[in-house]
Structure 1
Amino acid sequence: MARAQGARAQMALAFETTYGTPPASGFTRMPFASTTLGAEQPLLNSELLGYGRDPLAPIKDAVTADGDVIVPIDAAGFGFWLKAAFGQPATTGTGPWTHEFRSGAWTLPSLSIETVMPEVPRYAMYSGCVLDQLSWQVQRSGLLTATVRLVAQGETVGTTSAAGTPAELELKRFGHFNGAITRNGAALGNVVSVDITYANNLDRIETIRSDGRIDGADPSIAALTGSIEVRFADATLVTQAVNGDPCALEFGYGLPSGESFTFTVHAVYLPRPRIEISGPQGVQAKFDWQAARDSVVGRMCTATLVNDVDVY
């Protein structure tokens, strides 16, 4: 008897034309490290009396379908997740192409995602997937991955694939050593680590339906937050925090072959931190920053991906 193994698991996705309806074709195989994407339906205990001490049968509650996907930040596949987070990009060039994803879109595209465990076999199609949150960490070493949090409408499980033969992408991963951080156009030094979280703050439309699923997930006021930890070498960031002025932070990754990913936060506000001397080692300061809409650029952030993919 074959048993499911994570090493053989696969994932494919495609953007939907109609929310909650998986397309017949156009799926792309996606690299991923792990996923908790799934559907669950809890049971409600019976509250009825008069049948003795043993309880009556439980009742099924509404279906909840959501979860996280850990994905590599790469030159090609990451563009699908950026489109899910920000909407359709503005694409320029003739190869390589430059895809500019901008925050502030009123509507977001939905995805159909199929996860595959071929040994069982189990082919789970999650339709109506909308990206709720995208986060990653900037650090000196380790694997560069992002966490994608999704809200789905529902799950359909079969024994054969509904995605057909997905298209393949060439995997070109960015690494932490490819990264650089600038503040207002100048290199920002003494940075130990940075956490970045972009949230669409989805509002689930929980209408009454016979199948127990949601009717959709609408984006509300977006949020871009995080933390930046630095070695305390100068008062640049502390002075900015005290004055209450915003700055522009840019996080960039590049490959020798020409592919690049740049994430620009146009207006970052820093809180005044507590500077602690905890011992004889170096003193570090942590800023829990927030971003807001920049009045000049007209948006909160811009993600730019340069690769050999002509369209997303």
Structure 2
Amino acid sequence: MARAHGARARLALAFETIYGTAPEAGWWQMPFVSSTLGAEQPLLSSELLGYGRDPQAPLADAVTADGDVVVPLDTVGFGVWLKAAFGAPVTTGLDPGPFTHVFTSGGWDLPSLSIETAMPEVPRYALATGCVLDQLSWQMARSGLLTATARLIAQGETVAAASTIGTLEVPAFRRFGHFNGVITRNGQPLGNVVSAEITYANGIDRIETIRNDGRIEGADPGMAALTGRLEVRFADQTLIEQAIAGEACALSFGYALPSGESLTMDVPAVHLPRPRVEIPGPQGIQASFDWQAAKDASAGHMCRVRLVNAVEGY
């Protein structure tokens, strides 16, 4: 009997034209590290009395479909997750490229996705429809594998013994690494950074109406948020003085490959809290800044992501 193995699993996705309806074409096979995306339906224990100490049969509750997909930060596929997070980009460039895709925060029109996770040896093909990206986060460090986590809210899931999607396109794959990363503050490299965290959230609101299938009616974007953490080796007072003064700075988190592909998030108005600076012992002293971004009046947005690659459009 065949048993499921993660090494044989496959994840494919496509953008929906109609929310909750899987499209026939436009399917991409996506690189991924792990996935918890799926539907679950809890049971409600019986509260009835008068039948003795043994309970009556439980009842099925509403269906919840959501989960996280961990993906690599690569030059092509990551643009799909950026489109899910920010909406369609503005693309410039001439064939054969390179092309620059600019994703800007604050848009109201967020696309939905259909995502199929396949375990062909069972066989089990789970198709989640109406997937809306609630949160996209990643970390910057000195070493290790560079991945991001996409948190999704779906309308529902159907499971079949065979795939029901269209022809798959397998995009080119080239990965960014931590070694390719750089952080700048007001246009200048920010030194002494040990690690950084970036989290963009759409504040998705589930529309939970009464339906006979237990699914949600939709998922609407709420107030967006861009937050993170900077862990720095304490070497000067620059960031602390900014925090005390209540001023904002511009931060940029970027990656660039020698072949020309690049990924850059520009955040024009970052506010820093005043941190507690502790002396834990004889080793080096570090300070943590849990920063928050806000809309910049002159730029007109909270953040902007630029992806440069050979893809003509998303």
User: Which TM-score tier does this pair reach, normalised by the shorter chain?
Assistant: over 0.9
Separation (CA, whole Å) in 1 of partners of 2:255 and 2:299: 22
In percent, how many aligned pairs have the same letter?
Answer: 71
Between the aligned partners of 1:2 and 1:305, the Cα distance in structure 2 is 41
What corresponds to 2:180 in structure 1? 178
CA deviation after TM superposition for structure 1 residue 38, in Å: 0.7
**TM-score, length basis structure 1:** 0.99
Q: Which amino acid aligns with 2:313?
A: V
Q: Which residue of 1 aligns with 2:121?
A: 119
Q: 1:197-250: CA deviations, max 9, x gaps?
A: 110011000000000000111111111111101111111101100101000100
Deviations 1:146-203, CA, capped at 9 Å, x for gaps: 0000000000111111123210111100000001110010110000000111100110
**In 2: Cα distance, 1:144 partner to 1:114 partner:** 24
Query: Aligned letter for 2:106?
Result: G
Matched, 1:292 2:297: no
SS of 1:143's equivalent in the other structure is coil
Aligned to 1:16: 16
What amino acid sits opposite 2:56 in the alignment? Answer: L
| Number of the residue aligned with 2:243 | 241
2:200 to 182, 198, 208: 198
Matched, 1:28 2:28: yes
Indicate the residue corresponding to 2:224 in structure 1.
222
For 2:308, the equivalent position in structure 1 comes to 306
1:148 alignment counterpart: 150
Partner SS, residue 198 of structure 1: strand
User: Gaps spanning 5+ residues in structure 1: where?
Assistant: none
How far 1:107 sits from its partner (Å)? 2.0
Aligned to 1:250: 252
Structure 2 residue 45 is the aligned partner of structure 1 residue 45: yes
Match of 1:130 in 2: 132
Q: Which amino acid aligns with 2:105?
A: S
What SS class does the counterpart of residue 263 from structure 2 fall into?
Answer: strand
> Within 1, Cα distance between the matches of 2:116 and 2:268?
35
Q: How far did residue 106 of structure 1 move?
A: 1.1
Which string of whole-angstrom CA distances, capped at 9 and with x for unpartnered residues, describes residues 88-125 of structure 1?
00000011110000000012100000000000000110
- In the TM superposition, residue 45 of structure 1 has moved relative to its aligned partner by 0.7
1:61 aligned onto 2:61: yes
Matched, 1:74 2:74: yes
Q: CA RMSD in A?
A: 0.6
Q: Which residue of 2 aligns with 1:272?
A: 274
Write the letter of the residue equivalent to 1:238. Answer: I
Following superposition, the deviation at residue 51 of structure 1 comes to 1.6
CA offsets per residue over residues 9-40 of structure 1, 9 Å max, x none? 00000000000000011100000000000100
Alpha-carbon distance in structure 2 between the residues aligned to 1:307 and 1:221? 30
**Quick one: distance in 2 between partners of 1:3 and 1:276?**
51
TM-score by length of 2: 0.98
Could you tell me which of 207, 213, 221 is aligned with 2:215? 213
Task: Name the CA distance, whole Å, in 2 between partners of 1:246 and 1:81.
Answer: 28
Query: CA separation in 2, counterparts of 1:117 and 1:294?
Result: 46
Could you list the structure 1 runs, at least 4 aligned residues long, displaced by more than 6 angstroms after superposition.
none
Q: What SS does structure 1 have at the residue aligned with 2:171?
A: coil
In 2, the alpha carbon distance for the partners of 1:11 and 1:30 equals 6
Q: Does 1:83 align with 2:80?
A: no
What is the rounded CA distance, in whole Å, between the counterparts of 1:305 and 1:195 in structure 2?
19
Question: Relative to structure 2, which stretch is displaced further, 276-285 or 21-30?
Answer: 276-285
C-alpha displacement of 1:281: 1.2
Where in structure 2 are there 5+ consecutive unaligned residues?
A: none
Whole-Å separation in 2 of the counterparts to 1:244 and 1:103 = 23
Distance 2:301 2:59 in 1: 47
CA distance in 2, matches of 1:246, 1:282: 27
